[in-house]
Amino acid sequence: MIRIENIYKRFRKLQVLEDISATFSRGQVISLIGPNGSGKTTLIKSILGMVRPNCGKILVDDQLINGDPSYREKIGYMPQIGRYPDNMKVGQLFQMLQNIRNIPDIKLDKALVVGFELEKIFQKPMRTLSGGTRQKVSAAIAFLFDSPILILDEPTAGLDPLASEILKEKILTEKKKNKLILITSHILSDLDEITTHIMYMQEGRMQFFKDIETLQEETGELRLGKAIAKIMRGEPSSSEWIGKMLEIKTDDKNY
């Protein structure tokens, strides 16, 4: 559904993305992982058309994204920090977005509106909401239009444990609908039961893009956090360790 071809992005002297190429398909839940400053958010904003790469191409459903914003109708986006008009009431925000999209009420996915009990705060201005409640609003908006592509930037940050579980259950529900879901998160434990693929970035470069089973097999770790930590520490993979043991045994025999 999304094809990225040789993307480069520089902000003045800082190279933020360097030769990124990847293909994201339906049914995948891709965890975009990497340390702060690795280029994750810039890549997401490039897909959304909020940042224009210096060179390279991004296609959504084989449609080149440059110039035509209509492809965004296929994407539900949850930003890391939602910024909304301070004086607008919560209910007015949802109504405004529905009017812009021109989608009838019957086609809206209000599962998170109900799950987070947001109807109770529809009359509250956005400026009065806590950070966690703003996150709930952002999550509900991202899923509202039943988009085939979901991009979630640090979705559980600031959520209480119950809200975090409600959101993870919703992600799993959408995964079963064969949607493409792209997630960034520093809370790797939240991704264990959700992720199908891992894309690891560092200093603007893609270090690897693998399915979760391959990563688990190579590291010998079932938990995503431990697998990534092992890679970041530069520890040998299970296959490398076995290879070294076989070399030792062969050397012993030769001796």
Q: pLDDT by residue (tens digit) across 133-178?
A: 999 999 999 999 999 999 999 999 889 999 999 999 999 999 999 9
pTM of the entire structure? 0.87
DSSP the chain: -EEEEEEEEEETTEEEEEEEEEEE-TT-EEEEE--TTSSHHHHHHHHTTSS--SEEEEEETTEE-SS-GGGGGGEEEE-SS----TTSBHHHHHHHHHHHHT--GGG---HHHHHTTGGGGTTSBGGG--HHHHHHHHHHHHHHT--SEEEEESTTTT--HHHHHHHHHHHHHHHTTT-EEEEE-S-GGGTTTT-SEEEEEETTEEEEEEEHHHHHHHHT-SSHHHHHHHHHTTPPPHHHHHHHHHHHHHHHHH-
CATH number of 2-254: 3.40.640.10, 3.40.50.1820, 3.90.550.10, 3.40.50.300? 3.40.50.300
| Structural domain boundaries in the chain | 2-254
> Looking at residue 166, what is its pLDDT?
96
> Looking at residue 237, what is its pLDDT?
52
> Looking at residue 114, what is its pLDDT?
97
pLDDT in tens, 80-111: 888 899 999 999 999 999 999 999 888 999 99
